[in-house]
């Protein structure tokens, strides 16, 4: 859990450090506001998706399940700036499926913390493998990193894409292409 007192002190120091006056009217509430905000945007820390994925349903058949365009917002751990975009998830069940909203919950658990996009993509895939024990999983994330678009190389709109395959998706390029075709539109 977020230590509000520490965050507030640190933000005050940060404001002073960049030459601001933390006591001017517009900034007075900023340290406490930021402490409350971190409670939410780091709300996935120390969690796994177990609580979302433990309730499963018997699969009628074992056809590929795809949930695409799951919006995510996360924070880059190198600059503590937001990165955000879409995650697409596919898995091939092996007798059990999760409710579709639970895939979005799984993404949320790993987005709400200081994160790296590639790592988030892998963590989502690994939790699905672990808790649903499917034949395979494929996860793709495409995100805009504000640490690249509002500063540094400044390429607005450029996206970082990360792809992770597990189980039968790892070897089967036909399945991978099916996934790419389906998430394309
Ligand atoms: Zn960054």
165 alpha carbon – ligand 1 mean position (Å):
24
User: Among the options 5, 16, 78, 171, which is catalytic?
Assistant: 78
| Percentage, residues of the chain above pLDDT 70 | 99
Cβ atoms of residues 159 and 109 within 8 Å: no
Model's pTM, two decimal places? 0.94
Q: Is 145 a catalytic residue?
A: yes
Q: Is 42 a catalytic residue?
A: no
Q: Is residue 41 very low, low, confident or very high in pLDDT (cuts 50, 70, 90)?
A: very high
Closest CA to 132 of 99, 98, 158: 98
pLDDT single digits (tens) 59-77: 888 899 999 999 999 999 9
151 alpha carbon – ligand 1 mean position (Å):
10
Q: Is 174 a catalytic residue?
A: no
pLDDT single digits (tens) 156-184: 888 999 999 999 999 999 999 999 999 98
User: Distances from the Cα of 1 to the Cαs of 7, 35, 108, 124, in angstroms?
Assistant: 11, 11, 17, 22
Q: How many CB atoms lie within 10 A of CB 59?
A: 16
């Amino acid at each position: 859990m977020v230590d509000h007192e520490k965050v507030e002190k640190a933000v005050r120091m940060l404001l002073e450090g960049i030459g601001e006056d933390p006591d001017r009217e517009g900034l007075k509430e900023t340290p406490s506001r930021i402490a409350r905000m971190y409670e939410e945007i780091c709300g996935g820390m120390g969690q796994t998706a177990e609580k979302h994925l433990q309730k499963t349903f018997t699969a009628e058949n074992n056809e590929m399940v795809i949930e695409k365009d799951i919006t995510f917002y996360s924070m880059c751990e190198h600059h503590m700036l937001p990165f955000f975009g879409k995650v697409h998830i596919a898995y091939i069940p092996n007798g059990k499926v999760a409710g579709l909203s639970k895939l979005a919950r799984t993404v949320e658990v790993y987005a709400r913390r200081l994160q790296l996009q590639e790592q988030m993509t892998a963590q989502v895939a690994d939790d699905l493998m672990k808790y649903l024990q499917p034949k395979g999983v494929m996860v793709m994330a495409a995100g805009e990193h504000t640490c690249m678009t509002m500063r540094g190389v400044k390429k607005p709109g450029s996206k970082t894409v990360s792809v992770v395959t597990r189980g039968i998706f790892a070897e089967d390029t036909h399945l991978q292409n099916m996934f790419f075709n389906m998430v394309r539109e």
